[in-house]
Amino acid sequence: MGFAIRIDWSEEWKNPEKWTNHGRDALVQGCKHHTKDKDSTDMEYAGYCDECGTSEDSAEPMMNYIYPLECTDFDEEKILKVVTETNCTVMENEETGEWFLTLCGGGMDLSQDIAYAYLIMEQWIPIEFLGQICDQPELSIGGRHYKELATAVIEQTETRGEQLKDKSKRWKERVAEWEAKDGKKDL
């Protein structure tokens, strides 16, 4: 995958100040179910909440690739949605200020999760990734989320296709102009 950036999380975690796991933070902050003593939420106390159906570990990077996000200002609601509805989390490199998606699961094609996470965070899928999304129905994203993803992929590929046709037409016109003027003498 040319769009993905290789990263070795086992090495990166040796410098914990370098990365902020916004997905994990959103899971902890998103849990509103308090322990019996009411001093903390289940997630803060145990790292897991039966009522939320998640654990902090659900947002731990597992695969050694990151996917760049163009935007850098996200609300916690979007980040929580990414973590609870996909196999991704949202990471920020504190040294560079860059934000990334990264997978928290593996073992199969999770391109649908990555693409859906992009839709949640930025409302579009990067063109470099658009053609790499598996079209198998509900491979890793199901129900209405699969339908949302499919609709977005169709819309974006059709739009990109028209843009590329226009670009091709302009290039052809420019080459024809160049050849008519003085381009043939260089051939």
Mean pLDDT score of the chain: 86
Give the CA radius of gyration of the chain.
Answer: 21
Enter the DSSP assignment of 179: I
Alpha-carbon dihedral sign for residues 172, 173, 176, 182: negative
Q: What is the DSSP string of 120-146?
A: HHHSS--HHHHTTS--STTSSS-HHHH
Distance CA 121, CA 155 (A): 18
pLDDT tens-digit readout, 52-85: 777 667 788 888 999 999 988 788 899 999 998 9
Distance CA 57, CA 74 (A): 21
Report CA-CA distances (Å) from 98 to 23, 77, 79, 119, 120. Answer: 15, 19, 15, 18, 17
Decide: 31 and 25 in contact? Cβ < 8 Å.
no
**Domain span including residue 107:** 5-186
pLDDT for 184 equals 62
Distance CA 73, CA 77 (A): 12
Indicate the number of domains in the chain.
Answer: 1
pLDDT tens-digit readout, 123-145: 999 988 898 999 999 898 889 99
pLDDT for 146 equals 95
pLDDT tens-digit readout, 12-36: 988 889 999 999 888 888 767 666 6
